[in-house]
Copies of this chain bind each other. A is one copy, B any other.
């Protein structure tokens, strides 16, 4: 209820501020005897780590994750798994005017409105640094899902520049600094983002995450539908402003005939001939790919001064001189993947709880 936990049966709670001594999370509800090591988690953290190209912040976080509980001799025990990353970058420094100013687009104003106090150092709790723990929890969720379910993500749009979906190549995603599945688009974005960065400006983006191999039957109607939980999971990521499932917003423009995903028997199995539904009908997975897209607003920290006020009601101009990501959407790709894996792991466990009775009427 207090807001720092996510999930029902597979449930995790994160803690820590951007410039505090550490960040961490506790993952509860993981079944016992799942193999798990620190490198299993570190692998996904390394993919997320900023500073790997000139298009993401240069903060050098080694982000070395430690497992503090819940794993014994390489296997989970059913006890809560505590993960921690120490903030090596944490140092006392002068935060200057940022201490009292409300940066437009940031949560400074609202944190003060809600709590009457604000840890202004590096954005405190509202910093995207928190998402490292989502990626860590997502790594455990992947273990729960097993090898037959794969969760992948890609950047499909920067600004108004969309990829060519016909050119989609998952291999390409790992080859460019944008997680872009279209090599040609990636080349264009190199120029586009370089220009944005030079101007000290920023730009939005759209991410698509996809899960394959998900069995039919996951999701709890009416209010814990699989797509409803996915919408909550994605909209809760920093800077996200929209979430779509399958045809998404485009579904509004379709006719019933176009939108229908017809079904045939192929090799003796029900097979959908299209996937406008994005793998979810009535809030329950169909067995098709789960397809989720979300839009990320442009980074709020920019060079051009913007008008604002400070906490004393004094009018000020705010501009950000330090280094910031020109497009925070890039770093959101591994976070979106993690949240998708987490929602699926949670619903997989939920379904196990009630599924056994099918054969016991």
Contacts and interface: CB of A to CB of B under 8 A. Distances in A.
User: Mostly helix, strand, loop or mixed at chain A's interface?
Assistant: mixed
Contacts of A11: 1-2
B259 A298 contact: yes
A92 interface: no
Contacts of A258: 298
B68 A24 contact: yes
A161 B144 CA distance: 45
B28 A13 contact: yes
A351 B32 CA distance: 11
A309 B263 contact: yes
Q: How many copies of the chain does the oligomer comprise?
A: 4
A119 interface: yes
Interface stretch (A56-64, A176-184, A223-231): A223-231
A29 B2 CA distance: 5
Contacts of A29: 1-2, 354
A33 B357 contact: yes
A333 interface: no
A37 interface: no
Contacts of A298: 251, 254-256, 258-259
Interface residues of A toward B: which range? 35 or more
A17 B79 contact: yes
Interface string A292-308: 00011111111010111
Given A33-B357, A82-B15, A229-B232, A252 B204 contact: yes
Nearest to A278: B241
Contacts of A21: 66, 68-69
The 4 closest A-B pairs by CB, nearest first: A107-B282, A3-B220, A2-B29, A202-B256
